[in-house]
Amino acid sequence: MQYVPLGRTGLNVSRLGFGGIPLQRIDRPAARELLKAAHEAGVNYIDTARGYTVSEEWIGRSLQELGLRDAFVLATKCRAVTADEMRAELAASLKALRTDHIELYQFHNPSLRDLEGILAPGGALEALREAQAQGVVGHIGVTAHLAAVFERALAVEAFETIMFPYNIVEQQGADLIARCAAAGKAFIDMKPLAGGAIEDGRLALRYVLANPAVTVSIPGMAAAQELAQNLEAAADPSPLSAQEQKACQAVRDALGTQFCRRCNYCAPCTVGIQIPSAFLFDGYISRYGLEKWARERYATLPVKASACIGCGACETRCPYQLPIRQMLKQVAAHFGE
């Protein structure tokens, strides 16, 4: 395992971090075993969020039971904009994580407007600064999905880390990532597998970790085999081979730019369509030829793509400006409902 400085924080982190989103899909004992295995393999960075339902709670309980709290750099985040909101969210994180300090606290995907509120007098940054002075929060960072927010965050001195999507098919942050490194801020790579759209997890991780401007990548993990695959990729520091580069190009050719990253920011759909699931199942047919598997799962969706009334509410919330209505029409055509 490679360890690198987390920007100028003074912390050293494993380049493979533990993405805590999928812990929501498994039970708590399984989460504990996975965290134990990650620790034994040298992973020392955990990413979670207030918004990931049970994730903070299960990480907190697991680390307490395992006696491993101090073995990890804990990073969490919330959507607070005002100082009062942040005080409440931070208290909730500390309680759920069963700790009296959090190494990295981040603003979770603020819009440009929210970011200005966060930075204004009485904004959430003020509360994190107070917590920092009290030793409750070690360092402050921000996460973003839009390049404009990343660009703005680069100019904010208080932010020691920036998290942004970067992977084989999402290069919109490539220049900003290089500037992040030059500014001494750590770059945390989210969505190394493009939200599950890239099938070959090993190749996906090899690709992002081959970029030295990437400090740590945080693939989500919910199973021992996912951890093992990620560890194998992270253990190989060699540059991408010609064959791997060709495979990356094949992934780009297959996915293009218009694909769903399953972030679920488009929710709630006015009529209850589970938009990312509809796109996921469709992708299993169009990209991977898993027709039967995809049809069985699509059949379990309570509201089908054909129910879309075209209100457009989802499109105003998609950070990737996907033409969701048009894409759902294609899904409905493929599945016949």
Please identify which residue in 46, 94, 188, 260 interacts with ligand SF4, judged by CB under 6 A: 260
Least CB distance to ligand SF4 at residue 312 (A): 5
Q: Which of 61-69, 90-98, 224-232, 265-273 is the region at the interface with ligand SF4 (rule: CB under 6 A)? A: 265-273
Q: Which of 325, 329, 330, 332 binds ligand SF4 (CB under 6 A)?
A: 325
Under rule CB under 6 A, residue 309 binds ligand SF4: yes
With respect to ligand SF4, which residue has the nearer C-beta, 12 or 257? 257
Binding piece for ligand SF4, criterion CB under 6 A, among 102-110, 115-123, 177-185, 309-317: 309-317
Distance CA 143, CA 317 (A): 17
The partner residues of 14 in beta bridges, in order of sequence, read 3
Least CB distance to ligand SF4 at residue 275 (A): 5
Q: How far is the CB of 146 from ligand SF4 (least distance, A)?
A: 12
Q: Can you tell me which of 314, 331, 334, 335 binds ligand SF4, judged by CB under 6 A?
A: 314
To the nearest whole angstrom, how small is the minimum distance from the Cβ of residue 309 to ligand SF4? 5
Q: What's the sign of the alpha-carbon dihedral 263, 266, 268, 272?
A: negative
**Residue 162 · residue 150 · CB < 8 Å:** yes
223 touching ligand SF4, by CB under 6 A: no
Stretch that binds ligand SF4, among 15-23, 82-90, 104-112, 270-278 (CB under 6 A): 270-278
Q: Check residue 13 and give left, alpha or beta (phi > 0: left; psi -120 to 50: alpha).
A: beta
Q: Enumerate the H helices of the chain as residue ranges.
A: 28-40, 55-66, 83-97, 112-119, 124-133, 147-154, 174-182, 201-209, 224-234, 242-255, 275-286, 291-299, 313-317, 324-335
Residue 198 interacting with ligand SF4 (CB under 6 A): no
The nearest distance, CB 163 to ligand SF4, in angstroms, is 16
Of 152, 227, 225, 165, the residue nearest 197 (C-alpha): 165
User: Up-side HSE of residue 271: CA atoms within 13 Å toward CB?
Assistant: 14
The answer to whether 329 contacts ligand SF4 (rule: CB under 6 A) is no
- For residues 153 and 115, is the Cβ–Cβ distance under 8 A? yes
Q: Which residues bind ligand SF4 (CB under 6 A)?
A: 260-266, 269-271, 273, 275-276, 308-314, 318, 320, 322, 324-325, 328
